[in-house]
Chains A and B, each alone.
Chain A
Amino acid sequence: MDEIKFEKDDFEFAHDSNDKLIDKTYSNSSYMKDVMTHFLKNKGALFGAIVIVIIILLAIFGPYFNSHTYKSMTIEHASLTPRIPIVENLGIFNGEIKRTNREGEVIVTNQYLDKGLEDVYYWFGTDTQGRDIFTRVFEGTRISLIIAFTAVIIDIFIGMFYGVISGYFGGKVDMVMQRFAEVLNGIPTLVLVTLLSLLLPPGIWSIIFALMITGWIGMNRIARAQVLKIKEQEFILASKTLGAKNFAIMFKDILPNIFGQVIIMSMFSIPNAIFTESFLSFIGLGIPGPMASLGSLVSEGYKSLTIYPHIIGSSIIVLALLMLSFNLFADGLRDAFDPKMKQQ
């Protein structure tokens, strides 16, 4: 038998450097670590998370950054354009207004200098009643966020209990409960919310209540679908065999398993709640003045859109950024926790 001989160049390295390849697909890493890696890789979601944190911090501390309050009016300071120290030297945000007159000449005026307010700075300008827009925008953001979060938390509770009970008992109970939800869902949300806020005295709680009326239906659907999946599993059977009561099974065995899903989906409801609130304020059914929400600021600024666009500008940018960020963040969170639901 001939001996097989190997020459020196019979084999070559598969890689130039013989590093160990890290097997990421089947590597042993904890669930939370997986989720984190997945989430951090998603640039949109990361951007969303950072913007949300910045806006929340500004909503908490922003109104105290200067000496103005959301309702302090200085009529002589009305409708000033933004002026920011240091930045003003660059030729932007220096309080100037450029206007074109009828002959087509561009006239530049500076209200701050004309009125002798050399030392006065309004970062986002002032509104038509001489109130600081910076303070009002973040005061408004705070109220919009409070409304959205409270409404969504209430939605989670109602929707989850409703969905768990409906899904767990099944049969007739399920049918009646789901038909009821379906009928309520058949009413266009904006119409229902509009009518409700007409009925209730204006204020934060009325808006939260109006948002709550239809908001829970989506949560109920998610919770129910999850319960239907889980209730056939062995650990529920084991619980039943050991003599656990229905109530205990529902809230001790099933609820902790669906909580994560519900929380993730609730992230999508927050921008929705912010939108509905701003919609109500825009048609004149929102927070009564001098309090402000993002929607009421947009609605106020809209009246002088063509003369003083800066009044509406800042609130609309914050509103758009906030909604965009929450959507990106929720998308990223869902993809990270549940890659199955990920869109390709």
Chain B
Amino acid sequence: MGKYILKRIAIACATLFVILFILFVMLEFMPGSPFNDEKLNEAQKALLYAKYGLDDPFFIRFFNYAKNMLQGDFGVSYVINKNFAVSTMIFQRLAVTIVIGIQAMVLGTIVGLILGILAALKHNTWVDTLASIISVIGVSVPSYVFALGLAYFVGFKLGWFPITYNPSNAAMSTILPTIALSLFTIANIARFTRSEMIDVLSSDYILLVKSKGIKEYKMIIKHALRNALIPIITVMGPLLVGLLTGSMVIEKIFAIPGIGSLMIAAIQGNDYNVVLSVAFVYSAMYIFTMLIIDILYGVIDPRIRVAKGE
């Protein structure tokens, strides 16, 4: 077990390092300069380059950068907020993104589980068909289509919720984005829960529980769902990260001041450090959740440890 965990951690670290390197190399070749001000002459530009260490040799810059990144020092923004620490910009905005992500995850998991369980219990009835239709639509239609639909019909036509983010009414403003984001999670969780529950419900021990005359809800929650939940954990990781990156477009649609909209603004403004840092934060979150999921799953199911090489 220890060896398995160590191996996973080693892979995660290697991935993180490779990401830092790739991001750095990519940004080296990015078009545009961080100093776009036309008033600057060549000498002033050279001074600025020297000040920010932009003319050091490639590897020195990279290792300095990697060291700083891992210490949480993401450098300063050149364009969006001149000389403002990127880490502060990100941490100010991270909260909104995470709040919406977690809300969507919780809502998606609960609704998905209920939908999946209902579909499995009423297997081959209209409930099952309806649940399947909802999950196929949720899996295949991109979340921003739902977001635009919700923004237009619920936000604009009915006027129930604000279309654009309103800091003085933050809770209400997050409702529509949360729903739009959670549909993908609902659909995925419902799909998995349904097939797992059908498997479990047809097993012998459920028959035994039934023949002992236990109440149905108790049977479902205590005996069936518990066993069905194990494989569902594996889809949770990718879903959580899907939420975080998928929120980029949702944040743009609802004008939410999160890190997704920061990334888009930085891309359009050629703000090197900001793009690099947000991409790094996204990737780090992704790697971290994948690591946790891998370890969790290895703990729960010994076969995975063997398959992934102990």
Residues of A within 8 A of B (CB): 44, 179, 182-184, 186-188, 190-192, 194-196, 198-199, 271, 275, 278-279, 282-285, 298, 302, 305-306, 309, 312, 316, 319-320, 323-324, 326-328, 331, 343-344
The answer for the CA separation of A298 and B147 in the assembled complex, in Å, is 12
Please pick, from B29, B152, B290, the residue contacting A199 in the complex, using a CB distance under 8 A: B29
Q: How far is the CB of B46 from chain A (nearest CB, A)?
A: 25
Residues of B within 8 A of A (CB): 11-12, 14-15, 18-19, 22-23, 26-27, 29-31, 136-137, 139-142, 144-145, 148-149, 151-152, 156, 163, 191, 194-195, 198-199, 241, 245-246, 248-249, 252-253, 263-264, 267-268, 275, 279, 282-283, 286-287, 290
Neighbouring A residues of B290 by C-beta, 8 Å: 186
The answer for the CA separation of A195 and B31 in the assembled complex, in Å, is 12
Please pick, from A187, A278, A305, A327, the residue contacting B136 in the complex, using a CB distance under 8 A: A327
Interface contact A183-B15, CB-CB below 8 Å: yes
Q: How far is the CB of A317 from chain B (nearest CB, A)?
A: 9
Can you show 16 pairs from A to B with CB atoms below 8 A apart?
A: A187-B19, A188-B282, A195-B279, A198-B30, A199-B29, A271-B140, A282-B144, A283-B252, A302-B148, A316-B149, A323-B140, A323-B142, A324-B136, A327-B140, A328-B140, A343-B194
Neighbouring B residues of A190 by C-beta, 8 Å: 245-246, 248
Interface contact A195-B11, CB-CB below 8 Å: no
Q: How far is the CB of A278 from chain B (nearest CB, A)?
A: 7
By CB atoms of chain B within 10 A, which of A188, A278, A282, A283 has the most? Answer: A188
Known: A282-B252, A284-B264. A324 touches B140 (CB 8 A): yes
The answer for the CA separation of A327 and B11 in the assembled complex, in Å, is 32
Please pick, from B31, B156, B248, B282, the residue contacting A283 in the complex, using a CB distance under 8 A: B248
Chain A binding surface SS class: helix
Known: A44-B136, A327-B139. A316 touches B145 (CB 8 A): yes
The answer for the CA separation of A195 and B163 in the assembled complex, in Å, is 29
Chain B binding surface SS class: helix
The answer for the CA separation of A133 and B142 in the assembled complex, in Å, is 21
Please pick, from A191, A324, A344, the residue contacting B199 in the complex, using a CB distance under 8 A: A344
The answer for the CA separation of A184 and B189 in the assembled complex, in Å, is 26
Neighbouring B residues of A192 by C-beta, 8 Å: 22
Interface contact B151-A305, CB-CB below 8 Å: yes
Interface contact A191-B264, CB-CB below 8 Å: no
Neighbouring B residues of A275 by C-beta, 8 Å: 142
Q: How far is the CB of A281 from chain B (nearest CB, A)?
A: 11
Interface contact A186-B26, CB-CB below 8 Å: no
Interface contact B253-A343, CB-CB below 8 Å: no
Q: How far is the CB of A111 from chain B (nearest CB, A)?
A: 20
Interface contact B248-A320, CB-CB below 8 Å: no
The answer for the CA separation of A3 and B148 in the assembled complex, in Å, is 85
By CB atoms of chain A within 10 A, which of B139, B144, B283 has the most? Answer: B144
Neighbouring B residues of A283 by C-beta, 8 Å: 248-249, 252, 264, 267
For the complex of A and B, list the 7 residue pairs with the smallest distance between their C-beta atoms, beginning with the closest.
A186-B15, A327-B140, A190-B245, A343-B195, A324-B140, A320-B141, A188-B286
Known: A188-B283, A271-B140. A284 touches B268 (CB 8 A): yes
Interface contact B142-A279, CB-CB below 8 Å: yes
Since A194-B267, A324-B141 are in contact, a sample of 9 more A-B pairs with Cβ atoms closer than 8 Å, ordered by chain A residue number, is A186-B12, A186-B19, A187-B18, A187-B19, A195-B275, A198-B30, A283-B264, A285-B267, A343-B195
Residue of A nearest to B260 (CB): A283
Known: A283-B252, A316-B148, A319-B142. A199 touches B26 (CB 8 A): yes
Interface contact A302-B268, CB-CB below 8 Å: no
Neighbouring A residues of B11 by C-beta, 8 Å: 179, 182-183, 186
Q: How far is the CB of A173 from chain B (nearest CB, A)?
A: 15
Interface contact A187-B283, CB-CB below 8 Å: yes
Interface contact A191-B252, CB-CB below 8 Å: no
Q: How far is the CB of A224 from chain B (nearest CB, A)?
A: 13
Interface contact B15-A187, CB-CB below 8 Å: yes
Residue of B nearest to A196 (CB): B26
Please pick, from A183, A188, A306, A328, the residue contacting B241 in the complex, using a CB distance under 8 A: A188
Neighbouring A residues of B245 by C-beta, 8 Å: 188, 190-191
Neighbouring A residues of B246 by C-beta, 8 Å: 190
Q: How far is the CB of B52 from chain A (nearest CB, A)?
A: 20
Interface contact B148-A191, CB-CB below 8 Å: no
